[in-house]
Each structure stands twice: as structure tokens, then as C-alpha cells.
Structure 1
Amino acid sequence: MVLTFRTPAASRLPSLTGLRFLAAMLVFLYHGSLMKIVVFNPFADAQWATAYNHLFNAGGRVGVSFFFVLSGFVLTWSARSTDTTSAFLRRRLLKIYPNHIVTWAVAMMLLVAPGTRPAVWLPNLLLLHAWVPEDDILRGVNAVSWSLCSELLFYMLFPLILPAVQRIRAARLWWWAAATVAALLAAQGLITLLTPDAPVAPGWPLPELRFWLAYFFPPLRLFEFVLGMLMARILMTGQWIRLGLLPAFLFMAAGYAAARVVPFQYSLNAVTIVPIALLITAVAATDVADAPTLLASRPMVWLGEVSFAFYMVHLEVLYGTQALLHGQTFATPMALGVIASEFGTALLLAWMLYALVERPIMRRWAGNARPRTARALVSRADDGSRA
């Protein structure tokens, strides 16, 4: 089936690339502040340790939700007019699997106990572990890779969802975006009603099954991905409300603050999905308008380009630091130095992974295959006004 698509006036979104690193940094700071189950927080001073944890305790959840919305936005924005489903899927698999396999192998050598059963490490290798509601499988090997299970589902469904999103009339896109947010809120409410209150997930204020469904289960993260697709269409079809960068960032800050005080389940994505979607679209709109931003500066774009690799290596760096320092905590100046060294090490390793694995593989094997019109994922044409 041949689909329709309007090519954006500006295909590159450098400010969004820069923004991507800020989201990855939030995840890094969240993990670095942990004080339960695994302790990465390096502060000996209880007030500093608590402040660090409280400031970034929503960072991981916000960062991951940002990546899911961003995926839907960018894939819709950059969908190629002569692309095929097979070429699209090849590019996406080549984007995530090489980095995943390298970091999986490192974690297997350094972090996973010898003799660990295949039921723990094999689902992680195949990016199936987020589908299993067992903590040792879900968080086994390189724990951050759970989000790639959702990304993989998004990629598989994108060629099926895109035609439906493109058929929505431009004037109705905001209504569909609102309906997607409402569906996410309803899903969280149903999860609360339909799941038992015990057993409680160790170290978390939610029952195990409820936590898995509300946060890790890939199909229930589709709402964020689809919202990102809709926001891209809103911008592409001229329906954007022209929200400025400052209001968008302030709204995002308010959403982040709310995520720190609302009941935990609703901090997972319910109170932040709208601010995230508006921020992503506002930042993209500045690129479309060719307006200069700090996010589009060369250093920020470079950081954004290595952000996926940074995300994949940072937890291994934190575990490595914990092992080298034997779990010690430090006076405040030294603790700040530990955080800075962890960041620098993760960034260096991310650059190496990007330069030696991710970028060469994408350049070598992720190029366009010869398009076949009958199997095209998208084709040029309308302005989004149909049906």
C-alpha cells in the first residue's frame, strides 16, 4: 500500500538533537542519585545526599518518557517519501542493536555473575525482557536497555500506525492528541483498579505487577509514541499554537516539579506527557523557523548525537565506580568530583561507542535500499487534510 506524506520544509532539527542530551543527562543524574536497592549516591552528608536524590528522583522517568515521545515525533517528521518498510526497519535495528550488543557484552563480562541462567540474560540480548514481569529478568544485564524493548515495538508498528495518523484531518489533530493523553490517563487508572495491592515492588511504592504494567510493559508506552507522531503532524500541517521556548520550558519545569509530589504511579508519565510533547514541538518549531538556539550549537548537537550511546553506557560506569570505590561516600567537594568523573567517563565511552560502532555501522549498512514504489512506506503528496 502506498501512503501519503508531506515533506517538511526543514528536515533537520538540530535543537531537538541538542535537547536529547539533556534528557539523557536527567537519566544519568537520576541513577547517580539513587539511595535504595543500589546506592550510587556519593554524598556522605545526609542533607546533600537527600537533596541530590530529591532533585533528580523524577529525572529517569521524565527522560524515558521524553525519548518515547521524541521517537514518534522524529520518525514521523523524517519519514522518507520513497522509503520501504524493510529499509525503515533495517535502519532502526542498525541504530539500536549494535550499541545494545556491545554494552550487553560488557555487562555480561563485568556485572553478571558467572553461571547466571540463560532465562535472565537471553531475553535482555533479544530485547524481550521488558515483556517479563520478573525483576531479575527485567533489570538483568544492562538494566537501562529495557526501554529499547518499547522502542523496538514502536518501530515494528510505525508502518501500520503512520497511515492512520496521516489520514487525520489537520483541524482534528489536536483533538486526537488530547484523546491520546486521555487514553494514557485512563490506562493508568485501569491499572490501579485491576491489579492487586501486593506484593510491593522492593524499593518502590507500588505493587510489583502494577509497577511493571504502568512503566515497563511496552504496549502501554505506545501512547507517548503516538502522541509524538501527532505532534509532528500538528507542526507539519500548520496547526501549531506557536508556544515560545520560554513558556514551553517553564511548563516542562512545572510538570517535572509535579512529578516529584504526585502519587508515584502518576509521576511515571501522566503529569509530564503534555509538557514533554509541547516542549518537543516548540523546540522543533524554532528549527523550522530557522531561529538560533543554544540547543542547536555545535557542542550541543554533538552531545545529542552521542546521547544514545551515553544512555547505554552510563549505568555501567556507575556500577564500575561503585565497585572501584567499594561503595564509599565522600565529603561534598569530593562527591561532586566523583559525579563529574562519572559523567566524564560515561561521555568518553559514549563518544568511543558512537565513533567506533554506531556511526560506522549506520554509514555502512543503513543507507537507502533501492525504493520499490509498491512497498513504499510513505510517498509525497497531501497536506494532511484527508478524512
Structure 2
Amino acid sequence: MTGLALTRGAQPLPPLTALPHPAAGPARPGRERSRRLYAVDGIRLLAALMVALHHYAGTRRVNQPHNLIWDRPVSDIMPTVFHVATYGWIGVEIFFVISGFVICMSCWGRTPRQFFVSRVIRLYPAYWFAVLFTTAVLAAAPGVWERLRLRDVLLNLTMLQSGSGVQNVDGVYWTLWSELRFYLLFLAVVATGLTYRKVVVFCCAWGAAAMLAPVSKWPLLELIANPEGAWYFIAGLALYLMHRFGQDVLLWGILAMSWLMAQKELGTRIDEVEHVSSWRGAVLIFTAFLLLMVSVALGHTDRIRWRWLATAGSLTYPLYLMHYAAGTAVISRLRDEMDPRLLVAAVLTGFLLLSWAVHRWVERPLAGAVKRGLEGAFGRVRGVGQGARG
């Protein structure tokens, strides 16, 4: 989910009441969509590799005696790799922050229809392939993961299985449910036209709902507010506003609140899910990432224009979708045939190559076809509506 950046100006931020609707033109003189944020592409790929390494060599699951992936604890097989990989799960939180940043950037000045089409063509082509690919690999290499019934695999193709109480084909798909809820909430702001003030109000309102949801005991509020992920997305939104309009006390306040709430969520995830990493280490890594994103937002990384990073960024989504269940199934079959460090490196390299192939021969052709189909359908709907009014 990469996009084009906006060049930075040097004039002071206008008051909230003076901020223009996006249709009125750029936020400040000299600001235009002319640069890609290559640094963000690189960070996204690094986050995906962190998550993959964590799943292969740093989870509690792979560190249990007689586990089905390695047959013995990874901390015994490759202790140094294990201690590094235990923190790789933070890559998911990094994804959420980047998603807030990139979605806000790519939606500025777009209509709800454009927003909807852009999300469909970005999310579904690679996802459809990943569901079918993972199902095929698990059928060919059984024993590590439970195979789903055909009806559940087919429902997974909708990406709505979590809302239907159906198990994911691959466990990493749980993050897509958080992403979809974020898109649905943000669509309401996109529909009114994005401005600095509207996004700030959205951040504050969503943050308040996320704080109230756990104590309210209202399942619907918890579902919509997504308290486990909300503050990461809010941090990304604030960072993009900082990038587009410049820094101010209000944005720094939202970012600080996001950090404070995030450190609590990091601790909760360690206590309830991860167990193998420390709170201090997790907070240190997350803080370093946020500071790096602040540098991106303030334009300090604008000189990074390595075009290969754009390709690296395009591999991130397919890699994330395919690496876990299929990758661990492959490791379980080859663990006695290769050095474990070499095996992890080989599997990661293989999935990077496969991700490039999926991007080149699946995502791009399908995205174009789906986009043309959706735009044609919307055009017919508009034509029918105009004819009915006539």
C-alpha cells in the first residue's frame, strides 16, 4: 500500500478554521504529489521480514519441546536467532502505523468510490492467490496445520471469515480484519472530504471510543472501536498530517497519546500471546520505529530515492500473506535435511522470490482487470440513476 508523497513547504500551519477542503487545492504553496516515500517501502519490507523470522524461529510455539515445526526448542537449535526473532511480532504493529499513514496519504482528495476501488484492487488479488496457495501447500504437506473444510476455504476468499466466526486459512489473516474495520471507519471521513480538522477529530473520537470500549462491555462498540489496534492506526494518521501540514503541538499530543496507549497494548500482547519477549525490549523497538516514522514525516528521509525499495515494498503484502502456514509446513519437512539457519534463510528467500512473481503475474494483471470491471459497474449504476431521475 504505497503511494506518492507530498513535498514539504516551509510556511506556518494555518488555523483550523482556515484549512481548505482538498478540492480547493494543495494545503500549502509548494506542496504537490511529486515524490514517493521510498523509506516507507523499505520499512514495510523490514517489518514483513521481522514477522516471518518470528514465526519461523521466535514464537512460543516453536520453542516448545517436540513441536511439529522443529521437533525441539529453537532456543536450543539456534539461540541467537531465537532471541532476535522473539521481537519480530512487533512488525504487525509497525504495519498498522504505516497503514494509517499510507491510507490517509492515498485517500487525500479521492472520492469514496475511488477509495473503495483502490482498497479492493490492493487487497484482494494477492489475497485470493495466497488462500489457494496455502490451502494447496497444507494439503501436500499435512501434519503441522489443520486443513479447513472446503466451505470454510471458500468463505476465506471473501476476507470476511472473522466476522462470520470461521477459522482463517492462515493465522496471519487476523490482521486483515483489523485493517478492514479501519477502512470502514475511515470511509466515513473520506466521504465528507479529508481536511486536517476532520482527520484530527476522527483521531480523537476513535481514540475515545477505543478507551471506552473495553470497560463498556458492549461487544458492538469493541468490534467497531478495535481497541487492540486503534492507537497504531491513529499514530499513522497523525504522522501523515505532520508530513502534509507540518508539525504542531496537537499532532505531537496525539502521537504521544498513541505511544502511551501502545506501550500498554504491547505489554498485554506479551502477557497473553507472545510470552517469549520482554516489555522493555518491545517498547524500545517500537519507540525507535516511531522516531524513524517521525523522520519520514518531517522530510528527513526525502533524500532516500533508491528505486529498488519500491520493488521491495511491493513484495511486502504477498510475503506476509503466504509465509506463515506454508513456510512452517516446508520447514517441518526439511528440518532434518539442512542446517537450521540456512533453512530459515532459504525459506525466506524462496518466499521473497515467490512474492515478486505474485506481484508481477498475479497482482498487477488482476488489479487492472478488477479495476476496469468495478469502474464499469459504477459507471452503469450512475447511468441507471441518471436515467431514473430523467
TM over 0.5: yes
Q: CA deviation at 1:178?
A: 7.8
Determine helix, strand or coil for the equivalent of 2:323: helix
Q: Which residue identity does 1:105 align to in structure 2?
A: L
Mapped partners of 1:55, 1:186: distance in 2 = 35
Mapped partners of 1:267, 1:35: distance in 2 = 7
Determine helix, strand or coil for the equivalent of 2:159: coil
Q: Deviations over 1:117-151 (max 9, x none)?
A: 35632442221233366xxx43x322222222222
* Contact preservation (8 Å) 1:124, 1:145: no
Matching residue of 1:111 = 138
Mapped partners of 1:237, 1:115: distance in 2 = 49
Matching residue of 1:283 = 296
Matching residue of 1:201 = none
Q: CA deviation at 1:93?
A: 0.8
Match of 1:324 among 333, 338, 359: 333
Mapped partners of 2:94, 2:340: distance in 1 = 28
Q: CA deviation at 1:78?
A: 2.4
Matching residue of 1:385 = none
* Contact preservation (8 Å) 2:68, 2:332: no
Match of 1:4 among 22, 26, 41: 22
Matching residue of 2:117 = 90
Determine helix, strand or coil for the equivalent of 1:32: helix
Confirm whether residue 310 of structure 1 aligns to residue 319 of structure 2: yes
Structure 2 vs 1, CA of residues 259 and 169 (structure 1 numbering), >3 Å: closer, same or farther? closer
After TM superposition, the structure 1 = structure 2 runs for residues 364-383 of structure 1, keeping only pairs within 5 Å, are 364-366=369-371
* Contact preservation (8 Å) 1:111, 1:141: no
Determine helix, strand or coil for the equivalent of 1:297: coil
Match of 2:61 among 32, 36, 50: 36
Mapped partners of 1:45, 1:151: distance in 2 = 31
Q: Deviations over 1:39-84 (max 9, x none)?
A: 5458877445454333222322x21222222122112112253x33
* Contact preservation (8 Å) 2:77, 2:340: no
Mapped partners of 1:366, 1:182: distance in 2 = 36
Mark the runs of 5 or more structure 1 residues left unpaired by the alignment.
Answer: 196-208, 242-251, 376-387
Structure 2 vs 1, CA of residues 324 and 41 (structure 1 numbering), >3 Å: closer, same or farther? closer
Q: Deviations over 1:294-335 (max 9, x none)?
A: xx423333211211111122124413423432x5486xxx11
Structure 2 vs 1, CA of residues 353 and 4 (structure 1 numbering), >3 Å: closer, same or farther? same
Determine helix, strand or coil for the equivalent of 1:292: coil
Aligned residues: 324
Mapped partners of 1:231, 1:90: distance in 2 = 24
Q: Which residue identity does 2:307 align to in structure 1?
A: R
* Contact preservation (8 Å) 2:134, 2:169: yes
* Contact preservation (8 Å) 1:20, 1:307: yes
Matching residue of 2:14 = none
Structure 2 vs 1, CA of residues 163 and 235 (structure 1 numbering), >3 Å: closer, same or farther? farther
Determine helix, strand or coil for the equivalent of 1:59: coil
Matching residue of 1:352 = 357
Matching residue of 1:141 = 169
Matching residue of 1:161 = 189
Q: CA deviation at 1:13?
A: 1.2
After TM superposition, the structure 1 = structure 2 runs for residues 1-387 of structure 1, keeping only pairs within 5 Å, are 4=22, 7=26, 8-9=31-32, 10-33=34-57, 34-36=59-61, 39-40=68-69, 46-60=75-89, 62-81=90-109, 83-111=110-138, 116-118=148-150, 120-131=152-163, 137-138=166-167, 140-162=168-190, 166-167=194-195, 169=197, 173=200, 184=210, 190=215, 219-220=225-226, 221-239=229-247, 259=266, 263-265=270-272, 271=283, 276-286=289-299, 291-293=302-304, 296-325=305-334, 328=336, 334-366=339-371
Mapped partners of 1:186, 1:29: distance in 2 = 35
* Contact preservation (8 Å) 1:30, 1:56: yes
Mapped partners of 2:93, 2:266: distance in 1 = 12
TM-score by length of 2: 0.66
* Larger RCO of the pair (alpha carbons < 8 Å, separation 6+): 1
Matching residue of 1:200 = none
Q: Which moved more, 1:303-312 or 1:218-227?
A: 218-227
Identity in percent: 23
Structure 2 vs 1, CA of residues 261 and 166 (structure 1 numbering), >3 Å: closer, same or farther? closer
Q: Which residue identity does 1:264 align to in structure 2?
A: D
Mapped partners of 2:111, 2:236: distance in 1 = 21
TM-score by length of 1: 0.66
Mapped partners of 1:103, 1:43: distance in 2 = 29
Q: Which residue identity does 1:121 align to in structure 2?
A: V
* Contact preservation (8 Å) 1:41, 1:49: no
Q: Which residue identity does 1:109 align to in structure 2?
A: A
Mapped partners of 2:138, 2:180: distance in 1 = 25
Mapped partners of 1:319, 1:266: distance in 2 = 19
Structure 2 vs 1, CA of residues 122 and 87 (structure 1 numbering), >3 Å: closer, same or farther? same
Determine helix, strand or coil for the equivalent of 1:310: helix
Mapped partners of 2:292, 2:202: distance in 1 = 18
* Contact preservation (8 Å) 2:100, 2:237: yes
Alignment RMSD, CA only? Answer: 4.5
Q: CA deviation at 1:16?
A: 0.7
Mapped partners of 2:101, 2:156: distance in 1 = 26
* Contact preservation (8 Å) 1:317, 1:345: no
Mapped partners of 1:303, 1:143: distance in 2 = 23
Q: Which residue identity does 1:311 align to in structure 2?
A: Y
Q: Which residue identity does 2:180 align to in structure 1?
A: L
Matching residue of 1:198 = none
